[in-house]
Amino acid sequence: MRKHIFNAGPCVLPQQALEATAKAVVDFNGSGQSIMEVSHRGKEFQGVMDETVALMKELLKIPEGYSVLFLGGGASTQFLMVPFNLFNRKAAYLNTGVWAKKAIKEAKSFGEVVVVASSEDRNFNYIPKDFVVPADADYFHITTNNTIYGTELRKDIDSPVPLVADMSSDIMSRPVDVAKYAMIYGGAQKNLGPAGVTFVIIRDDILGKVERSIPTMMNYNTHIAEGSMFNTPPCINIFVVREVLKWVKAEGGVVEMERRAIAKADMLYKAMEESSMFVPTVPEPGDRSLMNITFVMTEAYKDKEALFIDFAKERGCVGLKGHRSVGGFRASCYNALDISSVAVLVQAMKDFEAIHA
């Protein structure tokens, strides 16, 4: 029986994407080869790559002048590639959690890093406001959604310098004004596909301006020139991303994904408002993530958190344990998680409280 998958990553995937991939693993398009065996330079896989790029451009309404790449190495490699390609004298970063801190650490190897604001003073349970981005920074880096702490920048911001965003865990969950960004990147495994492939959306004219020599594999222009095939790409992972994007399009696109995300989050946050046992870790509603909903038990019931994890698991809800740095619970409500799964979790919360409160 299919579980209610609340994992923070790898993410839950659409059933039709799973089934299409299962078929392609055995025989890709009647070729007599598995998708894991076909040549990445053959016309069969080139078609997969071309369609995946086209779907990204269509669904996100990516303007002309941007390239879409699919690379290995995860978002963590992008923490290094971004400054390699864009950092000349100074970079600005917004510190909203663990992944932002890791990106900041990499950038500091290249020169002056200005942390314009940080929410670390309250264990990252809010999004900083009213910060000033230095006009002489080469770029401003943000992490739009924070999987560990459950906060999210849910609107595109204006920046006086090129804006770079790690959108690993909220890409495709809402419409994005890509023109406001110089670059958007992220690991696929939080909302787009399986672990092992990273997407990069980059405005071509911001490249080629740094004074340093860039190692071949670290240079975005290397991968743009070769259509993400300078080296063998993660073929099966890109295939799954294509299937997920086809599902998103068929279901109504990013506008519909946002509607569903709001409905799922509202259902779960409302259950907490009505509860004397469960409370969200992010106090300000406007800062709360729609993708990663973090919550804990009130002090009176703290000793029952592990018991609830087991209780929910009996109902088929998996992946609810919070990150070790915050404890409690984390319900990741990515695109492919149906609202019926959230309803099962909410009922489990109510039933548990009725027994133990």
The answer to whether residue 247 is catalytic is no
Tokens of 304: 């029952």
Q: Torsions phi, psi of 339, nearest 5?
A: -60, -25
Q: What is the dihedral of CA 115, 120, 126, 129, to 10 degrees?
A: -30
Please give the C-alpha separations between residue 228 and each of 71, 217, 233, in angstroms, as whole numbers: 6, 11, 7
Phi-psi domain of 252 (left: phi exceeds 0; alpha: psi -120 through 50; beta: other)? left
The one catalytic residue in 166, 170, 287, 321 is 166
With CA atoms as reference, report the closest residue to 67 among 245, 207, 171, 162: 207
Q: Which of 138, 170, 190, 321 is catalytic?
A: 190
H-helix segments, the chain = 15-26, 43-60, 74-86, 98-107, 220-225, 235-251, 253-273, 305-314, 339-356
Choose, from 99, 246, 264, 321, the residue flagged as catalytic: 99
Q: How many CA atoms lie within 13 A of 282 on its CB side?
A: 29
Cβ-contact 118, 151 below 8 angstroms: no
- In the residue annotation, 190 being an active-site residue is answered as yes
Tokens 């392609």: give the residue.
24
Q: Which residues are catalytic?
A: 99, 166, 190
